Amino acid sequence: MILTVFRSRLKPENAETYQRVAAKMSELAQSMPGYVSHKTFTADDGERVTIVEFESEAAQRAWAQQPEHLGAQRLGRRDFYSEFRIQVCDVLRSTYFSAGA
């Protein structure tokens, strides 16, 4: 499992356009072979964290280099983000607990 941690801050003036592009990228990511999940959290100070899971490094790289996603990345650097950091991690261990299970 490969985990991508995407930490970012948005430029408020382009929020509406960002939401449309983000929705399209979410759909596209989910259609990629090897996609597992993604979820975004926003902190009180405005920092956003998106956690993305792919089955393999090859699947994650394919997503990173998907042509429409590359276009969205260019838009992000130019229009959407005041800053961001991407960390791609190999999951060494995973444990799950559910009281209802």
pLDDT tens for each residue of 1-60: 999 999 999 999 998 999 999 999 999 999 999 999 999 999 999 999 999 999 999 999
| β strands within the chain, DSSP E | 2-10, 35-42, 48-54, 81-90
pLDDT computed for residue 65 by the predictor:
97
Q: Record the tokens describing residue 62, joined without a space.
A: 């394919």
Phi, psi of 66 (to 5 degrees): -65, 130
CA atoms of 45 and 51, how far apart (whole Å): 18
Q: How confident is the model at residue 101 (pLDDT cuts 50, 70, 90)?
A: low
Structural domain boundaries in the chain: 2-90
Q: Which fold has domain 2-90?
A: Alpha-Beta Plaits (3.30.70)
The structure tokens 């261990």 sit at 93
